[in-house]
A and B are shown apart, each in its own frame.
Chain A
């Protein structure tokens, strides 16, 4: 098992007091498995993803990834975890505007110390980015930018990939193509995938679906 979340709770302070977002979530993910996390806006999907990514800590409960409770890691430990064990894909792409496409793709792998030129070449070819390597993010379309973001994540071959509505900013055809590529490449890389999506149609493409409602697992 690559990810195991147990009885996770998380609240955020607001002007009206603490707002509970997650109310005791249990979730498991096997190595290489792909899971779609669905639910309405405000149901806690992104929060759960952020906790699994080590970007934030749960108020209570355990997030075990590769046998380690990442909620108990200090700042340095969580930074090291994000570098080595997890890959993130966001709806807003969040590429680094100052780096070229090539540098963006290799950035995370080089930070993790796992840069593999042959794998990167294969990735860029399969993502259709070979002709765009010298360009900068602002010179790319939305679909191209998302493919660069996927390339950046998978170049490091992380055991766990977390994607937050990666096709939310793309049209249907482009979104389908991007997701297919992502699934295929994740399989090749041997990475498990936890993907947040609003789309039931896209969720159907993954191995399993988990529905969140009001901060709890509904199905």
Chain B
């Protein structure tokens, strides 16, 4: 009996293959976007963990200097003498020509074997590494590095990109650390009864093993952002599922009634429907996970670029398949299908045996339900406003985003219904009046798709405005900040000294770009020195600053800090900060520093060389008349035989920076387009579904003398009108979204605040795309209507239908 009844239920799909396809595509798209984003997130997180484990040996306790000045060799020796099994590390960023990488200098003899990320087997390997001429890097980094002079590059596939393991002696030499150790790795096996570390080395602090790496904390917001996008697309996909299952259940009401009348128990019927849905969810889930893999593979290089650009985090551009990802993807497909079809299942469960089939009932919404929806929408908007005014932190930012989007989406059908009612009242012609009234009648059946569209369009406008505002500010900022016409990097200190000598008198100004990496206020940051030059006084963009900021910098008493440090450390101009080496400096101003994930301090050049004499002095910005740049560049090459990569002109640098910027937001753009595509499909499936029940509404109008062609054109006009109205509603919602992103989320996530700018042309372009999508979505349903035979329409009037 059960099998017979089940096949009767399944036979529905044989007659409605398009409906089945819609359902499968809905579940598959929702699963694909969700699991794609999750795959990207888990790949990135696995990469952070690997980097933390390999680069920072965070599986072991570490000892760090409390004052950020580095650890003296004597301290290390004292600990070893006392019996402590510790291993020294010297690390820092180093530039090989134009390639900047992180050098990790280790002592292969004392480093615990588990902390070495690459194998050293045998005496010859060890001798080669300890000989101080070997760099061990990932294959990709090896490609970028080429053949550094006097060094041998060994490749290890287990290493993260943009990092190199070297012998500690080589690191000391290349980084100019002067023997100061960055940290000590505490071995896992220690003898009993050793004297406490605090007693031997009171200047050191213990960092326990397994602490979350900085980059994980930094990038949390980005991944939350991606997850929010994935969730948005997932919800939009579920709208399609909700709509398709709702209709298929309503269309089979008569079948349900017949089956029950023939003796199939309600419980068995419900179980059969659940089994049917789960079958569909499993098939669509597998399709979705495969699709998700391709989406993630396509997006991952962009995400890697974003993470590198915004946070300096290195993530491989290739995806690895994880079994838990398959399981999670299929589970989310099943869960999503269950959630979106629960209402339909409940209706079957509570349906009286004698209830009549109402194939159009699903498209109707009761006035009470609409009132409830409006109330929920208003509560969410009010909640979002309240959190925006009173809340703090990233979670509050996302709560505002969620409340705003969901509240606006819930209110949309009510607002549209009101507008259509007004249009109907104002219209004079019979056909116009019918057009508006009929559009209002279609609204409940289309409202989910329109809500999905509003979400997608608002997200597009909001994120687009954020990116464009960012771009505009960034480009202006680049123009100010990259004031030097030429940037030159010497290959070593001797060449740098010769360069300085040669440049004197040949250019308008030489601006050293020198920096050291040290710990300030518990954070590893860059300390730059700036020359006292009009270039800085005239061009450097300041967010805050005292009137005499540049004088104070030149005198060595003042410092500028970047926006990230200002916001994260709550520093104010006038406040004093303790610098590495134990001297104090007053914060004289704050400058914007977009794209840099870390804190930065700028002091006078003299102060830098005085307090940090070990500073590398290789890079220079040159001021020169723009028409002399090409010729001067040639002369520099002739004189010093510098490779092209070591001499970069301003235009090339700006082009590079803009390319990095665009790449950074490519993933956001791709997700925007995908979400819009899913919303477009939601609209298409709703229109297609509605077209199946439109004939009884349209046939009387046709019978009274309106041609099929005109009715089809009116259907197109109706769809375009609804898309247009949704688009108009999406503009203020999108702008509110942009404001939250720029003023709340960005500050928390990236550490900088941007002014909002409006780009109406971008909205028009998006409106154009939406219009094309509307026309595509309505094409098939309208074609169906325009080509329906008179016999098909006459069946509507048949007395025995």
Contact = CB atoms under 8 A, between A and B. Distances in A.
A41 interface: yes
A14 B437 CA distance: 38
Nearest to B701: A96
Given A55-B793, A55-B794, A98-B441, A80 B705 contact: yes
B796 interface: yes
A99 B799 contact: no
Contacts of A103: 430, 433-434, 437
A84 to B, nearest CB: 7
Contacts of B799: 46, 91-92, 164-165, 168
Interface residues of B, number: 31
B707 A98 contact: no
B800 A41 contact: yes
Interface stretch (A104-112, A120-128, A170-178): A104-112
A55 B699 CA distance: 10
A55 B696 CA distance: 15
A98 B704 contact: no
B701 A84 contact: no
A219 B440 CA distance: 49
Contacts of A41: 800
A82 interface: yes
Interface in A81-123: 81-84, 88, 90-92, 94-99, 103, 106-108, 110-112
Given A91-B799, A98-B434, A79 B706 contact: yes
Contacts of A80: 705
Given A79-B705, A82-B705, A112-B705, A94 B437 contact: no
B352 interface: no
B433 A53 contact: no
B431 interface: yes
Contacts of B708: 75
Contacts of B431: 111
B335 interface: no
Given A83-B704, A103-B437, A94 B430 contact: no
Contacts of B178: none
Nearest to A152: B704
B794 A107 contact: no
B706 A55 contact: no
Contacts of B793: 55
B568 interface: no
Interface string B778-801: 000000000000110110111111
Contacts of B193: none
A88 B796 CA distance: 13
A6 interface: no
> Which of B431, B705, B708, B791 has the largest number of chain A CB atoms within 10 A?
B705
B794 A56 contact: yes
A111 B702 CA distance: 11
Given A53-B703, A79-B706, A94 B791 contact: no
> Which of B700, B701, B708, B801 has the largest number of chain A CB atoms within 10 A?
B700
Contacts of B430: 103, 106-107, 110-111
Given A92-B797, A107-B704, A164-B797, 13 more contacts: A55-B793, A56-B791, A56-B794, A79-B706, A81-B705, A82-B703, A94-B696, A96-B437, A98-B441, A99-B437, A103-B430, A111-B705, A111-B706
22 contacts: A55-B703, A75-B707, A75-B708, A82-B705, A83-B704, A88-B703, A88-B704, A94-B696, A96-B438, A96-B701, A98-B434, A98-B438, A99-B433, A103-B437, A106-B430, A107-B430, A110-B429, A110-B430, A111-B430, A111-B431, A111-B706, A112-B705
